[in-house]
Structure 1
């Protein structure tokens, strides 16, 4: 028989200490059960139906935009399902998430969840399914406001994302892959993230598991307050890899307020092209360390030009807010009220000075036309907003006539593939030179008949076909 030597006392002592430490650690983890019970009824499932032939995959980004992404960032809403979910189908269906922000039925979600949808259905926690009306959407911030006809609904408690700290626990509720009211948790990995092609949202980065169907759902803190809206993930595989992004609720509620009041979002505009300040650039511009936003170009006719901002200036503060990285500036300017007089602290030729600039309104297209007058979305049968082009805009866009599309609502024009920044040159073989031409021609068009519309997109002319309903 083999003799077993007794273990030294210190081995047992360390084992006990280890078990106690593990117990303390486990006891310090948050319990999410009460939070989920109280706040999940205000979370909704959103399903959409689209009758267009456009592929539903990656519907939040156009194909050419996807090709330009330097990293694998994806908007996630939900894979198409049901019959006819392929490229050539007439009807596609998708799913996403959202949450109720008012007892009378206002619902907040991502723009890419409902983009291009002809029908939007909101399913509540009590399993009621209600049709939703799109109140307004903003592609730049990827937000949309819906309205359902209901009363006395459960609502979320809106928090303050500016109070979030890195390392804080957060929780998501949504419908990944159609599994309603799925709960996932993690921590805030970073704040103020800037993503490719997303200059106006300082994203919250988390390690909360986010998958197709989670988009538009709420991100809660431990107090049960919504601090973000789950929007995107970083992925090489197409699935969750531990890096997800949420829109800060402070930014979202500012957008919601404008969408509810005006139907669109007006953003502040300075009119400069900026770049990061490297170590070598900092030295060359007389800075002690790399920080600020280096002005690489001042847009002619912009608020920056009017204020005297010059190429080579380094903006180090905006209204007292320190600009550590160049990506900090667009967030601050974009959220500013149009017409506000702001102070910029700059370094010019090695010397610090302060200038005052009156913030303008961000053009529909960077460096493009700021419409002086236009046709409202609700006032024409195409359900689009168009604006006249001045001589400079026509030269830049290389067009001799036509109107620029500044906004596209739900309806025939969107189904035909017309997008913002397209130039409509002719309708039904009638040349369009002014708003008067546009309104007269559109008003006289027959219903239920294919109408050719000549558009110019990035200098290339092409025809699309619109069929107007009664």
Structure 2
């Protein structure tokens, strides 16, 4: 028996279907053998159409298996289960734009704040956040729409801070069309999360926050209220994790490519188990619509923040009182570190927990409570996850030596102090400094420049083609330390550089104060 010729004009049969066909053929063959044995043993002949009946049964089995293979697996069952948990959030904000021009309506954030800068950069053409675009509800009033989801049957729900920030009135609409008033229980601008409570209802269906972290490539379903249309579902995958979008030190966003548009802010991103892996908060959108890049707050962050908001209406975070920065490979080489891990202490705050515990500028924090710290952002998130008053154990590299520092966490200040730039209006005789050719900087003692303070040397000129310029040095910066040594004059800088060259160092670590904050910069030494 030979197989029939293959029809080359048709696409090849998928492997699972081929296996099904083979199984069906085996089934038919076995059935025919059994029928033949029956005829031989009992002395009867099968009816002429007996094998046709078997053949029909075999073909029916093949057709059923082909249908199973060919039918795509959809999300209908998951959507049917999770959709009732999602709500539309409508807000009314009075006294917002009554005395301002039209541009004041563009963004609900303070000018220059991290969220305002982010949405100006990544939001729509008008700079509005994706969850808060509406029309004016009347003179001096703004209406906006966003999304959210229930987290308990008594009406507690999660949404974005920027959706309800400053709202005088909050209404939610459930998936079955019911409308309720809601009140804001608490907000956390640093993570852009808010907790609201529906009034006058109970026994609401609610979502569960996922326990584990999603993997890149996992399916994700975004459910929300885009453009005020009501419950809408989009699907995609997790594109990346740990994203820093410049919102603040606690950035740890999940990036997804499920289409998220205006009004989706505050809505959940579900995994295929029907659990909330994240809260959609922002989109990258040059045009104002979805381009397939959206950011969600991880469920782990939502859990800790919401628990505090429910308990006391605000979030308290641990604080050690240091300015920190990433450890680049150049900085690691300058400090003699084996790996570019940890957080470099640029400057401990006076009278802060770290300063009291003996942590100094140039120290590298590599662990918290025996858990390694990968970078500066991870340190900020880890410390921020502890409550003030807790004791923590920091692993620190101090001048090349490992040591352990125990300290009690303070409370992160709720306000950010404004920091003035160095006054460059009266330059005095700053240009009398000596040129430092290997760095491309012209320097002068800080005391000779008005407003520069008494410590360090001031950068009065930067060669635009120099290594220093490539690393962000600018006129008015104050160099405080070079290679771990305090400097007060250009000649001291030259001496330290000469010593570093004698020791065959490839780069030097410079601590520089710029705009009121300090940072370390690794600058390569010119050869020759």
**Pair 1:20–1:232, CA change in 2 (3 A):** farther
Note if 1:33 corresponds to 2:76.
yes
Which of 307, 311, 316 in structure 2 is aligned with 1:257?
307
Note if 1:52 corresponds to 2:95.
yes
Which structure shows the higher strand fraction? 1
2:130 maps to what in 1? 76
1:146, 1:67 → 2: CA distance?
23
TM-score of the superposed pair, with normalisation by structure 1: 0.70
2:71, 2:417 → 1: CA distance?
53
Offset from partner CA, 1:376-406 (integer Å, 9 cap, x none): xxxxxxxxxxxxxxxxxxxxxxxxxxxxxxx
2:53 maps to what in 1? none
TM-score of the superposed pair, with normalisation by structure 2: 0.62
1:323, 1:29 → 2: CA distance?
43
Offset from partner CA, 1:205-235 (integer Å, 9 cap, x none): 1112111100000111110011211001123
Note if 1:158 corresponds to 2:201.
no
2:506 maps to what in 1? none
2:315, 2:324 → 1: CA distance?
23
**Pair 1:29–1:271, CA change in 2 (3 A):** farther
Say which SS state the counterpart of residue 280 (structure 1) adopts: helix
1:10, 1:76 → 2: CA distance?
53
1:47, 1:92 → 2: CA distance?
11
2:275, 2:134 → 1: CA distance?
31
1:135-284 correspondence runs (5 A): 135-149=185-199, 150-160=201-211, 162-284=212-334
Q: Does the 8 Å CA contact 2:91/2:167 hold for their aligned counterparts?
A: yes
Q: 1:197: how far off?
A: 3.0
Q: 1:168: how far off?
A: 1.2
**Pair 1:328–1:29, CA change in 2 (3 A):** farther
1:260, 1:17 → 2: CA distance?
54
Structure with higher Rg: it is: 2
Note if 1:96 corresponds to 2:146.
yes
2:373, 2:84 → 1: CA distance?
40
1:295, 1:261 → 2: CA distance?
33
Q: 1:34: how far off?
A: 0.7
Say which SS state the counterpart of residue 72 (structure 1) adopts: helix
1:153, 1:201 → 2: CA distance?
31
Q: How many residues align?
A: 354
Say which SS state the counterpart of residue 266 (structure 1) adopts: coil
Offset from partner CA, 1:394-423 (integer Å, 9 cap, x none): xxxxxxxxxxxxxxxxxxxxxxxxxxxxxx
Say which SS state the counterpart of residue 155 (structure 1) adopts: coil
Q: 1:101: how far off?
A: 1.0
For structure 1, the residue ranges without an aligned partner over 5 or more in a row are 1-7, 369-470
1:342, 1:112 → 2: CA distance?
33
2:118, 2:144 → 1: CA distance?
23
Q: Does the 8 Å CA contact 2:132/2:162 hold for their aligned counterparts?
A: no
1:67, 1:36 → 2: CA distance?
34
Say which SS state the counterpart of residue 191 (structure 2) adopts: coil
For structure 2, the residue ranges without an aligned partner over 5 or more in a row are 19-65, 98-103, 124-128, 419-528
2:35 maps to what in 1? none
Q: Does the 8 Å CA contact 1:96/1:113 hold for their aligned counterparts?
A: yes
Q: Does the 8 Å CA contact 2:280/2:296 hold for their aligned counterparts?
A: yes
2:371, 2:243 → 1: CA distance?
17
Q: Does the 8 Å CA contact 1:132/1:147 hold for their aligned counterparts?
A: yes
**Pair 1:232–1:29, CA change in 2 (3 A):** farther
